[in-house]
Amino acid sequence: MEKKRKWLISLFFSLFFLLLCGIGSLVTGPAGFLFFPSDQYERAILLNIRLPRVLLGFAAGGSLSLSGLLLQGIFRNPLVEPYTLGISGGAALFVALSIVARLDEIFGQFAISVAGFAGSLLVILTILTLSSKRHLKKEELLLSGVMISFISSSFVMLCFSLLKSEDVHRIIFWMMGTLQEEKKEFILFLSFLSLLSLFVSQFFSLHLNALQLGEEEAAHLGIDVFRVKRFLLFMSSILTGVTVSITGIVGFVGLLIPHLMRLLFGSDYRFLLFSSFLFGSSFLIVCDTLSRTLIKPAELPVGVITGIVGGSLFLFLLLRRK
């Protein structure tokens, strides 16, 4: 069948592209190109420094991009991205508070991630409670998220105004996001969670296709819109929350990649789900490679690269099409 063949070709193309980016990122780094590790030292760089970063880039890029795509589908709004609902804001606030309380000095660096997750979880629970009210319109839910975002960022500003400049610096660095992560367990967990979500989301691809017609039309096609929306909202929020608490706020991936994929593959979610995930992964891996090599031995924040590279690429493609 024609569509099946097109699907398989697209899948292989996306996987191949990801593989290319992954290998490319693995062999490049501040220590120079390493194709075949000749000694233990080089092998350690490949396996213990670069590989975890590539893997985290894969998981975080895929998660953010998938989450953005799902949220855009649920809200039928092209401007929604994983952070719109205030999940990142909640995380940032708790991270700021944990730095104020010196939790990381008492419990170690991972306390920051735990605090970030606690913050995002609080927002997720609020959003889910709101979304279980049937009479709440989706625009109102979206606005509530935006408000949560504003409130938490105001509190973060308040922290800034009260803190010493070195603490402010640490909060800002967390907020800009990085794929540097000491705990391998976190990376493996996020990889597992993101792949699981990708798998589960496949079962909703037809629902998401139908939702493009509007909620009432989707209901006419036999879809329990309320439950489907609530589940997908839950899944994408958890995905965003876990990602943010591990990597910080890596911006733009979740907005940019789903739109790029729409330009590339059209509006069929059977194609959009996996391609958004895989290209999101590839994109973040490439951006991270740039961030750690451009001004070596120093590093640029990866969120800056995703914004500049991704934004320009998107503008170029959008305007060229017209």
Partner 1 sequence: MAKLVQLMNVSCGYGKKIVLRNVSISIEEGEIVGVIGPNGSGKTTLLRAISGILRPKVGSILFGGKNLSKIPHTELAKKIAVVSQEGPHDLNMRVMDYVLLGRIPYMGPFTFFEKDEDIKIAMDCLGIMGILHLKDELVSNLSGGERQLAVISRALVQNPTLLLLDEPTSHLDIAHKVKILNILKKLNRERGLTQIVVFHDLNLASEFCGRLILLSEGEVVCDGTPNQVLTFQNLENVYRTMVIVKENPISSRPYVFPVFEEWMKR
Residues forming the site for partner 1 (CB under 8 A)? 1, 3-4, 7, 135, 202-203, 205-206, 209-210, 212-214, 216-217, 219-224, 262, 266-268, 270
The residue (of 100 and 317) whose beta carbon lies closer to partner 1 is: 317
- Smallest gap from Cβ 3 to partner 1, in A, equals 6
Q: Which two tokens stand for residue 136?
A: 């709440």
Nearer to partner 1, 50 or 207 (CB): 207
Tell the smallest beta-carbon distance from residue 263 to partner 1 (Å): 10
In the complex, minimum distance from the CB of residue 306 to partner 1, in angstroms, rounded to a whole number: 25
Q: Are 26 and 46 in contact (CB under 8 A)?
A: yes
Give me the least distance between CB of 320 and partner 1, in Å please. Answer: 17
Q: Which is nearer to partner 1, 170 or 230 (CB)?
A: 230
Query: In this structure, what token pair is assigned to residue 125?
Result: 């629970």
Least distance in angstroms from the C-beta of 18 to partner 1: 21
Buried-state track 254-293, b at ≥16 Cβ within 10 A, e below 16: bbbbbbbbbeebeebbbbbbbbbbbbbbbbbbbbbbbbbb
Structure tokens at 94: 């708790």
- 7 or 189: CB nearest partner 1: 7
Give least dist CB 211 to partner 1, A: 10
**Percent helix, strand, coil in the chain (nearest 5)?**
80, 0, 20
Query: Measured at the alpha carbon of residue 269, what is the angle toward residues 312 and 135, in degrees to the nearest 5?
Result: 100
Residues 6+ apart with CB under 8 A from 106: none
C-beta of 53 vs 207, nearer to partner 1:
207
Spatial distance between the Cα atoms of 18 and 227, rounded to a whole number of angstroms: 33
Closest Cα to residue 73, out of 242, 288, 178, 225? 225
Cβ nearer to partner 1, comparing 205 with 293: 205
